[in-house]
C-alpha cells in the first residue's frame, strides 16, 4: 500500500455518495472505483467521484479488476451478505454499512468469515462518531455519572426516504425498521452499558407512513414507530423511543444516560452535551463545532468523516476495528429480537436467537 489508500465504493446511492464526498475531504484517501447495477446510481457515483474513477456494474468485477486497497459497501441491506462473501475472497479491507446483514444467521456466518479475513472488517456505525455522542461515551466511561443504570434514546424524525426500487419499504429486504434503522441505537446501548443484552420487550406499528403506498402492487410492512426496552445482564436498562413521523422536531436525537451520581445528555442537531450531578445545582453544558465541509458532505452531522478518519487510521496502523463484525451482529440480534417481540407481543430472550 502506497501513501494513498485507494477505495472502491460498492453501492452509489445516497449513502454511497456520502462516503465518496467524505473521502474526498480526507488526505491520504482516494476513490478510484465505483460499482452499482443501477444506471442512475452509477451516474450519481461518477459525478461525486469525479474524473478518472473506474465504473463497474458488478461488485465482483470491481473486486477482481479495480485498483483498490479497501472497499465501502453501501448496497441495499439484503445484498450485504452476498457482497461480503465476494469481499472475503480477496484481501481487501472493508467498511460495511449497517446493518451487517438482515438476518442473525447471516450475521453469524459473516462473523466466522471475518475472523479469517486478512483485511480489516469494520461495520459502519457512524452514530458512534457524532461528537456529542462520543463525548457522552467518554464521560460515562470516566465515571462522571457514577454507575450507569438507565439509558434512554429518543429519535423523532422524518419518514424513510425513497430508495431505488422502493426496496426499503419491506421488512424482508431490511430486516425490519428495528434492525435497519435502530441497530445504530442498540449498538450505542451496548457500548454505553458495557453489558450484555439479555432480553427485549417492544411494541410498535405502522400507523402513519407508507399506508397508501403500493410499490410493485404490495403494501409496505415496516414499522414507523416503536418503543423497545432492553435488559442487560448486570441490571442496566435501555429504552428506545422511535417515531418516524415527527419532522422538524427541535432535536432529532436525544440520548440520556443516568447513573447513581448524575446524568449525561447528548442532543443532535444542537450538538450539545449536558452533564448534571446530584450533588451540584448547576448543569455543565458543552457545545461542539462541526467542520462545515463535513456537514455539507452528508446527512450525519459530520460523523461520516470522523468514522473514515478512524477507519483509515486503523488500516495504516494495522489496528483493530472500532466497530467489529461481532458488534454489528449483536446490534442486529437486538433489533431482530425487538421485531420478534412486536410480532409476538412478548419479551424475547437474546439466547433464543443464539446470543
Which of 67, 102, 125 corresponds to the end of one domain?
125
What residues make up the domain containing 17?
Answer: 5-125
Q: What is residue 139's predicted lDDT score, i.e. its pLDDT?
A: 98
- Say if residues 223 and 176 touch (Cβ distance below 8 Å): yes
Q: Do 110 and 249 fall within a single domain?
A: no
Rounded to whole angstroms, how far apart are CA atoms 151 and 238? 5
Q: Do 198 and 309 fall within a single domain?
A: yes
Q: Do 178 and 167 fall within a single domain?
A: yes
Q: Do 293 and 337 fall within a single domain?
A: yes
Q: What is residue 1's predicted lDDT score, i.e. its pLDDT?
A: 55
Rounded to whole angstroms, how far apart are CA atoms 85 and 6? 21
Grid coordinates representing 348?
A: 424475547
CATH code, 174: 3.30.360.10
- How would DSSP label each residue in 92-104? -EEEEESSS-SSH
Q: What is residue 284's predicted lDDT score, i.e. its pLDDT?
A: 97
Q: Do 75 and 191 fall within a single domain?
A: no
CATH code, 96: 3.40.50.720
Q: Do 112 and 168 fall within a single domain?
A: no
Q: What is residue 2's predicted lDDT score, i.e. its pLDDT?
A: 64
152-162 pLDDT tens trace: 999 999 999 99
Q: What is residue 57's predicted lDDT score, i.e. its pLDDT?
A: 97
Q: What is residue 133's predicted lDDT score, i.e. its pLDDT?
A: 98
Instruction: Give me the residues of the chain with pLDDT under 70, please.
Output: 1-2
Q: Do 302 and 326 fall within a single domain?
A: yes
pTM higher than 0.95 for the full model? yes
79's CB contacts (< 8 A; 6+ apart) are 11
Q: Do 336 and 292 fall within a single domain?
A: yes
Which of 76, 101, 125 corresponds to the end of one domain?
125
Q: Can you tell me which residue has the cell 455522542?
A: 133
Q: Do 270 and 157 fall within a single domain?
A: yes
CA-based nearest residue to 269, from 157, 191, 141 = 157
301-350 pLDDT tens trace: 999 999 999 999 999 999 999 999 999 999 999 999 999 999 999 999 99
Please give the tally of structural domains in the chain: 2
Q: Do 297 and 168 fall within a single domain?
A: yes
Which of 76, 104, 125 corresponds to the end of one domain?
125
Q: Do 203 and 337 fall within a single domain?
A: yes
- Say if residues 296 and 25 touch (Cβ distance below 8 Å): no
Q: Do 43 and 76 fall within a single domain?
A: yes
Q: What is residue 92's predicted lDDT score, i.e. its pLDDT?
A: 98
Q: Can you tell me which residue has the cell 463535513?
A: 294
Amino acid at each position: 500500500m502506497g501513501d494513498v489508500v485507494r477505495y472502491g465504493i460498492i453501492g452509489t446511492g445516497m449513502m454511497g455518495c456520502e462516503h465518496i464526498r467524505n473521502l474526498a475531504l480526507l488526505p491520504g484517501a482516494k476513490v478510484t472505483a465505483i460499482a452499482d447495477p443501477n444506471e442512475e446510481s452509477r451516474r450519481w457515483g461518477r459525478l461525486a467521484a469525479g474524473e478518472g474513477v473506474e465504473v463497474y456494474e458488478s461488485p465482483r468485477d470491481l473486486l477482481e479488476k479495480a485498483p483498490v486497497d479497501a472497499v465501502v459497501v453501501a448496497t441495499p441491506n439484503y445484498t450485504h451478505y452476498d457482497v461480503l462473501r465476494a469481499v472475503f475472497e480477496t484481501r481487501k479491507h472493508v467498511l460495511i454499512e449497517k446493518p451487517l446483514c438482515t438476518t442473525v444467521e447471516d450475521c453469524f456466518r459473516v462473523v466466522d468469515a471475518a475472523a479469517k479475513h486478512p483485511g480489516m472488517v469494520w461495520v459502519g456505525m457512524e452514530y458512534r462518531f457524532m461528537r456529542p455522542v462520543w463525548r457522552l461515551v467518554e464521560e460515562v466511561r470516566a465515571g462522571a455519572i457514577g454507575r450507569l443504570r438507565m439509558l434512554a434514546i429518543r429519535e423523532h424524525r422524518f419518514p424513510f426516504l425513497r430508495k431505488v426500487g422502493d426496496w426499503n419499504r419491506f421488512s424482508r429486504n431490511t430486516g425490519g425498521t428495528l434492525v435497519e434503522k435502530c441497530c445504530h441505537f442498540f449498538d450505542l446501548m451496548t457500548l454505553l452499558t458495557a453489558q450484555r443484552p439479555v432480553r427485549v420487550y417492544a411494541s410498535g406499528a405502522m400507523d402513519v407512513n407508507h399506508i397508501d403506498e403500493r410499490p410493485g402492487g404490495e403494501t409496505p410492512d415496516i414499522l414507523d414507530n416503536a418503543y423497545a426496552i432492553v435488559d442487560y445482564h448486570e441490571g442496566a436498562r435501555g429504552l428506545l423511543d422511535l417515531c418516524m413521523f415527527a419532522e422538524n422536531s427541535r432535536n432529532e436525537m436525544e440520548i440520556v444516560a443516568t447513573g447513581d451520581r448524575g446524568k449525561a445528555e447528548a442532543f443532535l442537531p444542537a450538538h450539545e452535551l449536558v452533564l448534571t450531578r446530584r450533588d451540584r445545582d448547576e448543569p455543565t453544558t458543552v457545545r461542539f463545532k462541526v467542520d462545515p465541509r463535513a456537514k455539507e458532505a452528508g446527512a450525519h452531522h459530520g460523523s461520516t468523516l470522523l468514522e473514515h478518519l478512524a477507519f483509515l487510521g486503523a488500516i495504516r496502523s494495522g489496528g483493530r476495528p472500532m466497530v467489529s463484525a461481532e458488534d454489528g451482529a449483536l446490534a442486529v440480534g437486538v433489533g431482530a429480537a425487538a421485531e420478534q417481540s412486536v410480532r409476538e407481543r412478548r419479551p424475547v430472550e437474546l439466547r433464543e436467537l443464539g446470543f
